[in-house]
C-alpha cells in the first residue's frame, strides 16, 4: 500500500477520513461524530476503532500508511492545541497518542493551513508561489503561502485572518476581540443578521435559497457583508501581494453573485497596485472532501506516497 495516504480531518462536530491516492482521488470517505466534550484519550480509542477496520478492508497497514491530520487551533510549531473553541482537549492532548496508533509517517497541521496545502497540491493554488486560502464556515480560517512557504509565525498561529479588524466599532468576536472579519463575514455572522431582520432563525440553506430568489432583506445583508469582506481582503492583499485569494467553505456556496458583490467592493477599497495580476476565486475542491484531501496532502506532497 505505498500508493495511498490517509487523510483525517478532525472537526468540532465530525471527524472525517479517507484513503487518498497520489492523484488526489478520495477512495471511500467515512465519518463519525467527534463528541467534543469527551476526554482526548477516549477520542483516540474511537478513532482507532473506526479507522483500523476501514484500513483492513482496503488492505492497508496502519503501521506503514502515511497519515496527515488536520485539527482546529493546532500549532505545528508548539505541537499543541491553542484554545480550540469547540473541543475540550487542550489539557490532555498529545501528539504521541496519534503516533501510537499510526506509527508510520505522521504529520499534523492546523485545519486552516491544511486547506491551503490542499489548494497548493490539488486546487487553485497549484503553480502559485504566493496565495491565500480563506475558509468561510461557522468561523473564518486562513492559510498563507508566501514564496512557496506556508506562513506559521513564531508560535504557529500566524495567518489568522478571521481576526483582523474590518470594523473598529463592530460586533464582538468569539475570540474576545471586536469587529473582526469573522464576526462580520462568517456563516454565523450572516445567520445572526438574518435572524435580526426576520425575527427568527433561518438555516444557511434557507438563506441561500432566499438570496437566489432575490429576497430584498437578504440581498441587503449580503451587500453589507460584502463591504466588510472586501475590507478584510484588502488588508491581506496590501500586506502579502498574493497572486490569488481562494475562498472556500460552506459560506461560499451562495454563488457567483455574492462573489461579484465582494469584487465590486474590492475595486473601491483595494490598494490599487495589488489588483494587477491578482484574482479572487472560489475553491474547486468540494467542501466535504477538501479537508480530507488537504490532510492527505500534508504527507503526499512530501513524496511519501
CA–CA gap between residue 42 and residue 35 (Å, rounded)? 10
Residue nearest to Zn ion (CB): 173
First to last CA, the chain: 9
Nearer to Zn ion, 116 or 166 (CB): 166
Among 180, 191, 210, 244, binds Zn ion (CB under 5 A): 180
Least distance in Å: CB of 180 to Zn ion? 4
Least distance in Å: CB of 112 to Zn ion? 13
Nearer to Zn ion, 120 or 180 (CB): 180
Least distance in Å: CB of 162 to Zn ion? 6
Nearer to Zn ion, 48 or 178 (CB): 178
Among 12, 24, 170, 177, binds Zn ion (CB under 5 A): 177
Nearer to Zn ion, 173 or 231 (CB): 173
Sign of CA dihedral 209, 170, 136, 233: positive
Q: How many residues bind Zn ion (CB under 5 A)?
A: 5
Q: What are the grid coordinates assigned to 240, written together? A: 502579502
CA–CA gap between residue 104 and residue 202 (Å, rounded)? 45
Would strands 106-110 and 67-71 be described as parallel, antiparallel, or unpaired? parallel
Nearer to Zn ion, 15 or 225 (CB): 225
Q: For residues 146, 149, 155 and 157, what is the CA-based torsion angle, rounded to 10 degrees? A: 60
Least distance in Å: CB of 209 to Zn ion? 29
Least distance in Å: CB of 172 to Zn ion? 9
Q: How far is CA 203 from the centre of its chain?
A: 20
Among 175, 202, 239, 253, binds Zn ion (CB under 5 A): 175
Among 5, 173, 208, 236, binds Zn ion (CB under 5 A): 173
Q: Are 114 and 123 in contact (CB under 8 A)?
A: no
Residue 160 dihedral angles phi and psi, to the nearest 5°: -90, 70
| Stretch of residues binding Zn ion (CB under 5 A), selected from 84-92, 121-129, 176-184, 265-273 | 176-184
Footprint on residues 111-170 left by Zn ion (CB under 5 A): 163
Strands (DSSP E) contained in the chain are: 4-10, 14-21, 30-33, 67-71, 74-75, 80-81, 106-110, 131-136, 140-146, 149-150, 244-248, 279-282
Least distance in Å: CB of 176 to Zn ion? 7
Pick from 219, 229, 300, 213: nearest CA to 264: 229
Angle between helices 187-198 and 216-240 (to 10 degrees): 150
* x/- track of binding to Zn ion for residues 237-256 (CB under 5 A): --------------------
Query: Using the rule CB under 5 A, is 184 a contact of Zn ion?
Result: no
CA–CA gap between residue 44 and residue 48 (Å, rounded)? 6
Nearer to Zn ion, 175 or 282 (CB): 175
Least distance in Å: CB of 73 to Zn ion? 12
Length of the chain: 305
| Stretch of residues binding Zn ion (CB under 5 A), selected from 20-28, 31-39, 180-188, 199-207 | 180-188
Nearer to Zn ion, 55 or 161 (CB): 161
Rg of the chain (C-alpha set): 19
List of residues contacting Zn ion (CB under 5 A): 163, 173, 175, 177, 180
Amino acid at each position: 500500500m505505498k500508493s495511498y495516504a490517509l487523510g483525517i480531518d478532525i472537526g468540532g462536530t465530525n471527524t472525517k477520513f479517507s484513503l487518498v491516492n497520489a492523484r488526489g482521488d478520495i477512495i471511500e470517505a467515512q465519518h463519525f461524530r467527534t463528541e467534543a466534550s469527551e476526554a482526548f484519550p477516549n477520542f483516540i480509542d474511537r478513532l482507532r476503532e473506526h479507522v483500523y477496520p476501514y484500513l483492513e478492508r482496503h488492505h492497508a497497514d496502519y503501521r506503514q500508511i502515511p497519515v496527515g491530520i488536520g485539527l482546529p487551533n493546532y500549532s505545528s510549531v508548539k505541537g499543541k492545541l491553542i484554545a480550540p473553541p469547540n473541543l475540550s482537549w487542550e489539557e490532555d492532548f498529545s501528539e504521541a497518542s496519534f503516533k501510537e496508533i499510526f506509527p508510520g509517517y505522521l504529520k499534523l497541521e492546523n485545519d486552516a493551513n491544511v486547506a491551503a496545502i490542499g489548494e497548493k497540491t490539488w486546487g487553485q493554488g497549484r503553480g502559485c508561489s504566493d496565495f491565500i486560502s480563506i475558509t468561510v464556515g461557522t468561523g473564518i480560517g486562513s492559510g498563507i503561502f508566501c514564496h512557496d512557504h506556508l506562513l506559521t509565525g513564531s508560535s504557529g498561529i500566524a495567518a489568522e485572518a478571521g481576526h483582523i479588524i474590518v470594523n473598529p466599532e463592530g460586533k464582538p468576536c468569539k475570540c474576545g476581540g471586536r469587529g473582526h472579519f469573522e464576526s462580520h463575514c462568517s456563516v454565523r455572522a450572516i445567520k445572526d443578521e438574518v435572524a435580526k431582520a426576520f425575527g427568527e432563525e433561518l438555516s444557511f440553506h434557507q438563506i441561500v435559497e432566499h438570496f437566489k430568489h432575490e429576497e430584498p432583506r437578504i440581498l441587503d445583508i449580503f451587500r453589507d457583508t460584502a463591504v466588510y469582506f472586501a475590507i478584510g481582503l484588502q488588508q491581506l492583499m496590501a500586506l502579502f501581494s498574493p497572486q490569488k485569494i481562494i475562498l472556500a467553505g460552506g459560506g461560499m456556496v451562495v454563488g457567483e453573485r455574492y462573489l461579484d458583490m465582494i469584487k465590486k467592493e474590492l475595486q473601491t477599497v483595494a490598494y490599487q497596485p495589488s489588483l494587477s495580476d491578482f484574482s479572487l476565486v472560489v475553491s474547486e475542491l468540494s467542501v466535504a472532501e477538501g479537508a480530507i484531501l488537504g490532510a492527505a496532502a500534508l504527507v503526499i506532497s512530501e513524496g511519501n506516497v
